[in-house]
Every structure is written in structure tokens, then in C-alpha cells.
Copies of this chain bind each other. A is one copy, B any other.
Amino acid sequence: VLVQVTKEVLLHALYPVLKAVAAHSPLPILSGIHIQADADGLVLTASNSSMAITCRIPQETGILTLQQPGRIVVTARYFYEIVRKLNPGVITLMGEDSFLLTLQSGGTQIRLCGMDPVEFPLPPSVEGQPVFTFRVPNGVLKSAIKQVATVAATSENRPVLTGVCLEYKEASLCLTATDGVRFATCTLRVARVMSSEAVTVVVPGKNLQEAVKLLAGEDGVTEITLTANRIRLQTPTVQIQSAVIDGRYPVLHSIIPRDYRCEIMVDTLILVNAFEIATILASADIVRIVVNAGKMELLSHIAEIGDSVDEIPLQEMNGEDFQLSVNGKYILDILRCLDTESVRMQFTGPLSPLVIQPVNDLTTSLFLITPVRTSH
């Protein structure tokens, strides 16, 4: 291998890949970065047991010289630290064999021991399997994943609930997640589907959240490929592959209440700010919502510390007065994901879930949050 590439281009390609480096793996090879030079350019890959990220530097944009193809695996942490600290400008990467990479920049020469590239778990090709491929604009995809993945369970008690369920059916993709207290669902229309059959996969929520951060500008388009056991997100330069979670995802859409006893509409930013203040002085994060005589109040308190009352103007109200308590932090996670100016809330009963919906969203999303029983 002999490649010359500028520090800036190399770093830019390294950042996304680092997200998939296994932090504390017993397998040393998983702490590595697979660097491959071929006729098309330089390809960096990292892979942990659940996710693989590949970033390509095309020959025409970033590579100054590419004399020989080849590949090597070096420890990601050291490689990144070194590239980051080298002076701006051209870095020469040289590998006489697969087990020694030399980096040269100005008066600095660094040699890094390599690992056997044959041992590196490159992401499998999806070709040859029944696949479903469709394309989604980044803006819509980011918003949908952000909203739904935030309520996926973090505890491993029921592993399937740490995932987001992706269900493709009739030209639309439905994302669903729940942690037992909260439920989120979002449906988006998708275009150019290469297969028309229905398919359902459950993808680890935290892999989707990492993937969202790597999707470039809102204007781009991401190609999503689903197979029976993998999901692949492909952008022009970055490819993210995630394993799926085995196990049956519970059927949850029947829990969405059909009727409400009161519906209100509130400014999203005002509501987020009010819950942030209320949660500061909220014992066990419990915040009481009181809707009464056309206005909404949030109440909270911590014994011997203090209490807080916040009045929020209602944009609309239809139905009866109500009050119930919710976990302030749980509802904030949801409200902070909303991209719309206003939010709609439906009270469906003192012990039934509160329904939260963004108003005028590009997607069709809906959240439920189960009230906290209190002695009020």
C-alpha cells in the first residue's frame, strides 16, 4: 500500500467510522479500523458485534497518490489520535506488508503495528438475499428515527423492546418503539420500493440513533435496505449496517385510544421550557398537569426544598377540565424530539395514556405516556 491523502480528508472520513469501534471488546481485532486501498479509493471500516460503518474516500476527491492496492487493520484509537495531531497537509500511508503501517507527515514518522485483516469482520454483502430497498429523504428519516428511538427501552430486561420495530407495508414505513411507560409510532411514505411484499424487522434503537447523526444534510436521500437479519443505510459516502434483534415485537397499535375526553393545543417551545423548570423541583420527577378553566398549569415540589407553579397559555381546548401526573423527564424526551411549533395533547382518562402528537408534521407520529398514580 502506498497512499497519499490530506489530513483533513482522512479525518473527515474517520469520524463517522469511529462510532462503530468496539470500546471494550475482548477481541482486539474489533478495536481496529480496516483500511483498504483499491482502484476506487480508500475505504475505512469499523465493526462491532451489532453495527458496522464504512466510509469511502473516492479516488477523485481525496486521494493524491494511490500506487498499490492492499489492506491493513490498525488500532482505531491510536490511528485517530495520531492523524488528529499531525500537522495539516499531506499524510503518506505506507504498508510493506499487512502488519506494519507507516505514517509520514513533515518531519514526523510513525509506525503502527497491524492486525491480520483476514480476521476482520467486514459487513456481509446483502446481495443474493431477498431484499427490500427504498429511499427516504434525510430530513424525514432523521425526524422519524429521533422521535421513535427516544422511547425505546434502555434496560435489557426484554431485549426486543430495546429495538425500534420497522414495518414496511403498502408503500409506507411504520416505526414503533416502547419502554413500557411510553409508546411512539411514526409512519412515512416511501418511494421506489424494489419489492412489494411486507417485511418487519426490529433494529437496536441505539444503532439507529448513531446512524441518524451520520446522515448528512437534510436535503440528501438515504437508501435503506432490509433483509431478514440486517438493515443497511447507504448515503453517498457512508454505509451503516446494523444487525437486527431476534424475537417477536409485541403488537401495540391496539393500545392507541380512539376517543378523548379533552384535547388541547400548546406551543411546543413554551411547553418544553415549562416542563424543564417543573422537573427541577420534581420529587421522583413527578409533574402534575392541571387543565382548568381554559388554562394549563404544571405543578411540582420536593419536600424541604421548594415548589414550582407554571402557567402555560392554551392555543385551543376542546372538552372537560382534567388533571393527571406524569414523569417530567419522560415527557421531556418526547417533547424535545418534536420539530413542529405546536403540540396536541389528548386526555383519555385519569389512568389512561396521555396522547401527544406534533401538529402539521411531515410524518404522522403519535406518542403515548402512561400517567403516574399519585395520592393527589
With A75-B305, A305-B75 given, is the CB distance from A277 to B82 under 8 Å? yes
With A280-B78, A310-B107, A311-B107 given, is the CB distance from A305 to B112 under 8 Å? yes
B277 and A86 contact, CB distance less than 8 A: yes
Q: What is the size category of the interface that chain A forms with chain B? A: 20 to 34
A78 and B277 contact, CB distance less than 8 A: no
Instruction: Kindly list chain B residues whose C-beta atoms are within 8 Å of the C-beta of A309.
Output: 108-110
State the CA gap A192–B121 with chains docked (Å).
71
A310 and B277 contact, CB distance less than 8 A: no
With A111-B307, A306-B112, A307-B110 given, is the CB distance from A78 to B273 under 8 Å? no
User: Which of B87, B273, B281, B313 has a CB less than 8 Å from the CB of A273?
Assistant: B87
A108 and B277 contact, CB distance less than 8 A: yes
- State the oligomeric state as a number of copies: 2
A259 at the interface (CB under 8 A from B): no
A376 at the interface (CB under 8 A from B): no
Those of A262-308 within 8 Å (CB) of chain B:
273-274, 276-277, 280-281, 304-308
State the CA gap A274–B108 with chains docked (Å).
8
The 8 A CB mask of A299-328 against B (1 = contact, 0 = none) is 000001111111111000000000000000
Could you tell me which A residues sit within 8 Å of B by CB distance?
Answer: 75, 78, 81-82, 85-87, 107-113, 273-274, 276-277, 280-281, 304-313
**Can you identify 5 A-B contacts, CB atoms within 8 angstroms?**
A85-B273, A85-B276, A108-B277, A108-B308, A108-B310
